[in-house]
Amino acid sequence: MLYWLFEDFFREHERGLRLIGAGILSFSVVILLGPRMIYLLTRMKIGDRPEFDHADLNAMTRHKSNTPTMGGVLIVISMLFSILMFANLANMYVASALVTIVWLGTLGGVDDWIKLRSSSRVGLKAWEKLLFQVGLAVLLSSFVWRYGEAGWESKYYDYLGESNPAHSFFFPLNAPAIQLCFFVYVLVMIFMMTGMSNAVNLTDGMDGLAGGCILEIGMVMLVLSWIVGIRDWAEFFHMPFVESSAEITIVCASIIGSCLGFLWFNSSPASVFMGDTGSLPLGGLLGYIAVVTRQEITLVIASGVLVMETASVILQVGYFKMTKGRDGTPGKRLFRIAPIHHHFHLGGWTESKVVVRMWILGILFAALALGTVKLR
CB 332 within 8 A of CB 322: no
Q: Which of 58-67, 183-192, 360-369 has the lowest mean pLDDT?
A: 58-67
CB 211 within 8 A of CB 271: no
pLDDT of residue 42: 87
3-state class (DSSP) for residue 47: strand
pLDDT of residue 162: 52
Evaluate whether residue 21 is within a structural domain. Answer: yes
pLDDT of residue 152: 53
* Phi, psi (deg, nearest 5) at residue 68: -60, 140
CB 255 within 8 A of CB 285: yes
DSSP assignments along 59-82, one per residue: HHTGGGTT-B--THHHHHHHHHHH
Average pLDDT over residues 245-250: 93
Question: How crowded is residue 328: how many other Cβ atoms within 10 Å of its Cβ?
Answer: 6
pLDDT of residue 45: 76
CB 331 within 8 A of CB 323: yes
Evaluate whether residue 179 is within a structural domain. Answer: yes
Evaluate whether residue 216 is within a structural domain. Answer: yes
How far apart are the C-alpha atoms of 295 and 176, rounded to whole Å?
Answer: 14
Which DSSP category does 169 fall into? E
Evaluate whether residue 261 is within a structural domain. Answer: yes
pLDDT of residue 158: 47
pLDDT of residue 156: 47
Q: Report which of 300, 319, 159, 126 is spatially closest to residue 240, judged by C-alpha positions.
A: 159
Average pLDDT over residues 84-111: 94
* Phi, psi (deg, nearest 5) at residue 298: -60, -40
Evaluate whether residue 376 is within a structural domain. Answer: no
Question: How crowded is residue 3: how many other Cβ atoms within 10 Å of its Cβ?
Answer: 21
Which DSSP category does 167 fall into? G
For residue 227, pLDDT over 70 is answered with yes
The per-residue pLDDT for range 307-317, each reduced to its tens digit, is: 999 999 999 98
Beta strand segments in the chain, E: 168-169, 178-179
Confidence of residue 179 (pLDDT cuts 50, 70, 90): confident
How far apart are the C-alpha atoms of 40 and 34, rounded to whole Å?
Answer: 10
Domain span at residue 206 reads: 3-303
Evaluate whether residue 329 is within a structural domain. Answer: no
pLDDT of residue 155: 44
Average pLDDT over residues 129-141: 95
Number of domains in the chain: 1
What average pLDDT is seen over the chain? 87
Q: Report which of 345, 305, 307 is spatially closest to residue 52, judged by C-alpha positions.
A: 345
Average pLDDT over residues 140-155: 72
Evaluate whether residue 343 is within a structural domain. Answer: no
In b/e form, how buried is each residue of 268-288, taking b as 16+ CB within 10 angstroms? eebbbbbbbbbbbbbbbbbbb
Evaluate whether residue 342 is within a structural domain. Answer: no
Q: Using a pLDDT cut of 70, give the percent of the chain over it.
A: 87
